[in-house]
């Protein structure tokens, strides 16, 4: 099965495709939240995108490990370009008047696809800063640790970058000028801490995927060397 997959699609192309899928799915579907657990009066909720974030940061680490940080940055920029285009096209699609046949579904259509501009901008800024930070930290640790302890480098870079991702997004999306600074910090921190810890857990559980991804992508690099001889 693995040989057949290699014949149908190159590992490097599949990694980019998975990355584009993850970033688009997180943008389109991330508005939905679900209940994880109820602890007395406290309800822990998370976005459905929580399952995709470990995939995205795992893929950037895999590409950085095998192809280098410049290739990983290129993949991130490509993904962000897709999201920017998606946001603009969504704005266009929701602004066009519906035909008589579609008029009955217009409210539902808009409620699904017409996210606020503030949320979209917050998401883009947060993920951009976190993705590039993840690549930088992972690459620096790789250099300092002489390519050893992949699990450690992956998780440290993910924990830090996902904290930045959550902090920037929540601040940009929910900071209210009508409230005091201390009130805003208290509210954002109450959301940030449990959500970040949950992301850390998901990243730790995804560690085996990093090793699998590195092995998979290295087969493509080996094939390139063989073909270039």
pLDDT of residue 132: 96
pLDDT of residue 7: 64
Evaluate whether 118 touches 62 at the Cβ level (below 8 Å): no
142 CB-side CA count, 13 A: 18
Evaluate whether 189 touches 129 at the Cβ level (below 8 Å): no
Evaluate whether 163 touches 196 at the Cβ level (below 8 Å): yes
The encoded tokens of residue 52 equal 């995709």
* Residue 223 host element (H or E): helix 207-227
pLDDT surpasses 80 at 170: yes
- The pLDDT of 10-27, averaged and rounded, is 89
The answer to which of 102-116, 137-151, 210-224 has the lowest mean pLDDT is 102-116
pLDDT of residue 70: 95
88-105 per-position pLDDT tens digit = 888 888 888 888 888 888
Domain count, the chain: 1
CATH of the domain at 30: 1.10.1760
Q: What is the dihedral of CA 220, 223, 227, 229, to 10 degrees?
A: 120
Per DSSP, what are the bridge partners of residue 44? Answer: 37
Residue 97 carries which DSSP code?
Answer: P
Alpha helices in 39-180 (DSSP H): 53-67, 69-95, 106-113, 117-144, 150-174
- Place 49 in a pLDDT band, splitting at 50, 70 and 90: confident
Name the average pLDDT for the chain. Answer: 85
- Place 47 in a pLDDT band, splitting at 50, 70 and 90: confident
Structural domain that includes position 74: 1-228
The whole model's pTM is what?
A: 0.83
pLDDT of residue 152: 96
pLDDT of residue 157: 96
R_g of the chain computed on alpha carbons: 20
Per DSSP, what are the bridge partners of residue 47? Answer: 33
The dihedrals phi and psi of 45, each to the nearest 5 degrees, come to -115, 160
pLDDT of residue 50: 83
């Amino acid at each position: 099965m693995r040989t057949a997959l290699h014949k149908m699609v190159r590992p490097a192309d599949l990694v980019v495709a998975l990355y584009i899928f993850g970033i688009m799915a997180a943008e389109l579907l991330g508005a939905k939240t679900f209940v994880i657990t109820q602890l007395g009066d406290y309800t822990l909720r998370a976005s459905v995108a929580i399952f995709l974030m470990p995939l995205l940061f795992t893929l950037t680490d895999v590409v950085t490990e095998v192809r280098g940080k410049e290739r990983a940055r290129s993949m991130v920029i490509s993904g962000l370009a897709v999201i920017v285009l998606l946001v603009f096209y969504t704005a266009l699609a929701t602004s066009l008047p519906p035909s008589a046949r579609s008029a009955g579904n217009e409210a539902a259509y808009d409620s699904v696809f017409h996210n606020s501009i503030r949320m979209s901008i917050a998401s883009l800024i947060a993920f951009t800063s976190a993705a590039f930070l993840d690549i930088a930290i992972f690459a620096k640790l790789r250099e300092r640790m002489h390519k050893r302890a992949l699990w450690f480098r992956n998780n440290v870079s993910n924990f830090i970058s996902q904290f930045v991702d959550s902090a920037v997004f929540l601040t940009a999306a929910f900071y209210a000028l009508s409230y005091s600074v201390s009130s805003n910090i208290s509210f954002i921190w109450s959301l940030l801490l449990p959500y970040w810890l949950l992301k850390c857990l998901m990243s730790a559980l995804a560690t085996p995927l990093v090793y699998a991804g590195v092995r998979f992508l290295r087969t493509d690099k080996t094939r390139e060397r063989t073909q270039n001889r």
